[in-house]
Amino acid sequence: MELKDRINSRQARIGIIGLGYVGLPLAVEFAKAGFEVTGFDVDVSKVDAINRGQSYIGDVSSDDVAASSKAGKLSATTDMARLHDMDAIDICVPTPLRKTRDPDLSYVILAVEAVRDRLRKGQLVILESTTYPGTTDEVVQPLLEEGGLKVGTDVYLAFSPERVDPGNATHTTKNIPKVVGGVNETSTALATALYGSIIKTIVPVSSTQVAEMVKLLENTFRAVNIGLVNEIALMSHRMNIDVWEVIEAASTKPFGFMPFYPGPGLGGHCIPIDPFYLSWKARQNGFECRFIELAGHINGSMPSFVVERVGEALNSQKKAINGSRIHIVGVAYKKDVSDMRESPALDVMELLHRRGAILSYTDPYVPTLDHGGMSLKSVAEAANGIDCAVICTNHTVFEYAEMPKRFPLVVDTRNALKGIAADNVFRL
């Protein structure tokens, strides 16, 4: 039976490499659609959890994992030899930056090498990891062809950017439109058929490079606009204007404006990182992304501005950061998730720690924290004697109305205290 027939009849065996925020939701959706899915990961704890029917991702319920596992549709392993048995292989591994801000494709390369060593005719390989335009053709395809099989005829290859938004209950893996670009028409058609079995809207594009660029444009768009509104926030502070009121009023315009909001900095795996992938690739082609890099500079400066506001707040009571007891409210990179990747709260805490602050924090999603020489545990309630609280992540579980009463000073970086007028509240 040809691969497309196996996909249409749900008999295709699907392998997912990387069982994190992207891979696990994808694996569960394929399993719920009736496919036999095998998850591959080097993290034994993740593999064991899935095989026990337990989820470690907030967006995926343990009930769904358990039901799929019990039905024999979902399993996980660390044994990469089993990749040979898969009909379609989806690579969902991290793509971080090196300290030099250059792309780090080491996880992608390791995953592709594992596939190459077990590759057989008729298989479909899809890369979902965010990367620069040209990665699929220039890196993945040559590696796969080292085994002697020809990509596009013997095996098939496509890129489909992940669009996961952790904590978003409305837009999920199943209903977010899926962009797909293959190395040839057959690869695109097979990837479209595969994703079309679990996702409502598929958006085929003409090449892998276009698909790769789509993801970078989406997140660079957000990074640049957040950079713009952060700069407006800095400007408004100098001019004694409430930037939050400005944004709210501007949002009443029914056309030509989309609201973005300032904050303590950028967090998550994508938005702080993806623009650097784009600017790095642009430099390889003799183009300088000045606009994008300027936005990155502004966004990267926001933790320092937050610390400056903390200093101003303490100074109003004739106190210094050095020796003050400062409590951080929320440390995850966004509300209602446990994800700490690139969280700006970490930068704020590290800067405060360097200045001699005595830190504590509350975050029900992050029980422990080890960063920058700090080793802390989340507390359910701040101890007595706190000099200043800093709202870095606006989790919905927090009782914001009580904070100006509980703490002598509150620095609000998220407008969580909107509508609360108090002399001890300092906004971004």
Marked catalytic residue, from 92, 270, 289, 392: 270
Asked if 16 contacts 90 with a C-beta cutoff of 8 angstroms, the reply is: yes
Helix (H) or strand (E) holding 13: strand 13-17
- The pairs formed by 171-179 with CB atoms below 8 angstroms and a separation of 24 or more are 172/25, 172/59, 173/25, 173/26, 173/29, 173/198, 173/199, 174/29, 174/198, 174/199, 174/200, 175/199, 175/200, 177/201, 177/202, 177/203, 178/202, 178/203, 179/203, 179/205, 179/211, 179/214, 179/215
Q: Are strands 74-77 and 13-17 parallel, antiparallel or unpaired?
A: unpaired
Q: Is 12 in a helix, a strand, or coil? A: coil
d(CA 284, CA 389) in angstroms, rounded, equals 45
Q: Is 270 a catalytic residue?
A: yes
Q: Is 181 in a helix, a strand, or coil? A: strand
Residues 6+ apart with CB under 8 A from 299: 223, 226, 227, 230, 265, 266, 272
Q: Is 339 in a helix, a strand, or coil? A: coil
Query: For tokens 């183009």, what's the residue?
Result: 287
Q: Which residues are identified as catalytic? A: 270
